[in-house]
Amino acid sequence: MTDRVALVTGASQGIGRACAKALASRGAHVVAGARQADKLAALVEEIRADGGNADAVQLDVQDQASIDAVAASHGKSIDILVNNAGITGDGLAMRMRDDDWQRVLDTNLTGSFRCARAFMRNMVRKRWGRIVNVASVVALSGNPGQVNYVASKAGIIGLTKSLALELAARSVTVNAVAPGFVDTAMTGELDEEARARILSQVPLGRMGQLDEIAGAVCFLASEESGYITGHVLNVSGGLYM
Ligand code: NAI
């Protein structure tokens, strides 16, 4: 991926951080975006210490002005966009507040759309680009207690396919990775009982590792995946087939 510049949103921790490190280790110049400058600085330092190239940018995907600022500073060089930033706001539909619905939709779905809109320009101009959206297997299976999150991730799959059709003529591919159950801060909120219940449904019998999700993202961001677009790559240990 030498000569490619990759923007990863939500790169400060978890899957986004792993994607940033994996892309850098494959030669990409990584632009790591998130709200927490201190965590990003540590990531950039780690990547550089390993011989990679990276910059940190302050990016809040819920805030159009923040996206515009990154587009102004780095937009002309981005070849690869990994739309990873995401949140949950769980609760049963009957009791869900509008605010919890809106916050999750704004971050996960609208944030991904706005970043794609802002950063596809350089790809279209260069007639080469990769957009990889991080969805979730629950977008395919549904999940009680997560109507907002699941709707946002199902929306990301629709976004992925429609964008893939719009950008195919310019050799820009748009794909999604749908992770299953991965050990991060997001799943750390689950209690032991919920963990055991989910794990019992995973045919491979374990949680996914960060590198396994990052590897799938890197593949879809690579040269070799050039004939794949509009695809949803399920990385879930068989949780959903
Ligand atoms: P995490 O909570 O560790 O990381 C989420 C990242 O997104 C953090 O860096 C956070 O700062 C960032 N973020 C949140 N709101 C943001 C905003 N407004 N602007 C910029 N950055 C923002 O969670 P994890 O697990 O690493 O999640 C990464 C992605 O993977 C999310 O989209 C999540 O929905 C998805 N995913 C995670 C699964 C899991 O089992 N952990 C399963 C399926 C999907």
Specify if 204 maps to a domain. Answer: no
Residue 4: pLDDT over 90 = yes
Residues 84 and 22 sit within 8 Å (Cβ to Cβ): no
**What is residue 192's predicted lDDT score, i.e. its pLDDT?**
87
179 lines ligand 1 (CB under 6 A): yes
- If DSSP codes are grouped into helix, strand and coil, which group holds residue 54? strand
Between these two residues, 59 and 192, which has the higher pLDDT value?
A: 59
Whole-angstrom distance, CA of residue 7 vs CA of residue 2: 14
Whole-angstrom distance, CA of residue 25 vs CA of residue 16: 14
User: Which DSSP letter does residue 10 get?
Assistant: T
To the question of pTM greater than 0.85 for the whole model, the response is yes
Residue 187: pLDDT over 90 = no
Specify if 193 maps to a domain. Answer: no
| Confidence tier at 195 by pLDDT (50, 70, 90) | confident
**What is residue 186's predicted lDDT score, i.e. its pLDDT?**
86
Structural domain count of the chain? 1
Specify if 135 maps to a domain. Answer: yes
Specify if 205 maps to a domain. Answer: no
| Tokens (6 digits) for 173 | 């591919």
202 lines ligand 1 (CB under 6 A): no
Specify if 77 maps to a domain. Answer: yes
195 lines ligand 1 (CB under 6 A): no
Residue nearest to atom 6 of ligand 1 (CA): 10
Q: Which long-range contacts (CB under 8 A, 24 or more apart) does 198-201 make?
A: 198/239, 201/239
Residues 45 and 23 sit within 8 Å (Cβ to Cβ): no
Give me the CATH number covering residue 119.
3.40.50.720
Mutation probe of ligand 1 site: the residue of 104, 186, 199, 211 with most atoms within 8 A of C-beta? 186
| Confidence tier at 191 by pLDDT (50, 70, 90) | confident
Residue nearest to atom 39 of ligand 1 (CA): 182
**What is residue 56's predicted lDDT score, i.e. its pLDDT?**
97
Residues 12 and 34 sit within 8 Å (Cβ to Cβ): yes
pLDDT in tens, 80-119: 999 999 999 999 999 999 999 999 999 999 999 999 999 9
- If DSSP codes are grouped into helix, strand and coil, which group holds residue 109? helix
| Confidence tier at 129 by pLDDT (50, 70, 90) | very high
Residues 6+ apart with CB under 8 A from 223: 1
Find the domain containing 228 and state its range: 5-183+210-235
Specify if 189 maps to a domain. Answer: no
- If DSSP codes are grouped into helix, strand and coil, which group holds residue 63? coil
Residue 224: pLDDT over 90 = yes
Specify if 201 maps to a domain. Answer: no
Specify if 136 maps to a domain. Answer: yes
Instruction: Indicate if 240 belongs to the active site.
Output: no
